[in-house]
Structure 1
Amino acid sequence: MEPNATTNENLNLYEKAENYTKTSLELLKLKTVCSVADGVSSLASKIAVGIVVAFFTLFLNIGLSLWIGKELGEYYFGFFIMALFYLIVAIIVHKSHHRLIKTPIGNSIISSILKEK
């Protein structure tokens, strides 16, 4: 009777190990789906806010350009001044894009993926 008891214990242990493996894989799948959904929803909301800010900035720039141009006597002067301003901003951003853009976004993505719930 001893061999049968050992066989039953081994079979029971095998079933438990199989169930544990299936449950662990299912938990890993659910955690992955949760992380991806969280990342995508954050990205979607940031894109929506970015679009609204872009429209605000566009209309603000048009208004400022027209106002500056009116004050200087010719409307196109205002657009040239705004273009020069954005050229200077673009040069500054290009020179420091790692510190201002790449590193913070990379850190945000990594922390979003690795955060525990």
Structure 2
Amino acid sequence: MEPNATTNQDFNLYEKAENYTKTSLELLKLKTINSVADGVSSLASKIAVGVVVAFFTLFLNVGLSLWIGKELGEYYFGFFIMALFYLIVAIVLHKSHHRLIKTPIGNSIISSILKEK
């Protein structure tokens, strides 16, 4: 037999390696699609809940503003007080946004992508 001659066993090994590579790539594609779909669906549900909470907060704030304004004698006083409250909240969030917002959201996204099922 010649030293460079290929046998059926070599072709069989090559086919197995090719099939393994194709299967591995397909599995990687499916895992990526699963992770992306999970992340997008999680994000969509959080956005839907966020919209409902935003409307609730909006109407609650208008109601509180009107009630505080009525108690103080002028309706616009209630809106000024609520605006001052949200200014204070914004300052606190700005000072601690890494600890309160950025880190938890980043950790949530990373754990969602890397979770094993």
**How far 1:2 moved relative to its partner?**
9.3
Unaligned stretches of 5+ residues in structure 2: none
Instruction: Give the CA deviation at 1:3.
Output: 7.7
Shift of 1:8: 0.8
RMSD value, Cα: 1.8
> Could you tell me the percent identity over the aligned residues?
92
Moved over 3 A (4+): 1-6
| Separation of aligned partners in 1, 2:84 and 2:7 | 82
Q: How many residues get paired?
A: 117
CA distance in 2, matches of 1:5, 1:40: 53
TM-score (norm: length of structure 1):
0.95
Q: Helix, strand or coil: the match of 2:5?
A: helix
The 3-state SS of whatever aligns with 1:5 is: coil
Per the alignment, residue 89 of structure 2 pairs with 89
Q: TM-score, normalised by structure 2?
A: 0.95
Q: Deviations over 1:48-104 (max 9, x none)?
A: 000000000000000000000000000000000000000000000000000000000
Q: Structure 1 stretches of 5 or more lacking a match? A: none
User: Displacement, 1:4?
Assistant: 11
CA distance in 2, matches of 1:40, 1:5: 53
Deviations 1:19-70 (A, max 9, x none): 0000000000000000000000000000000000000000000000000000
Q: Which residue of 2 aligns with 1:115?
A: 115
Q: CA deviation at 1:6?
A: 6.0
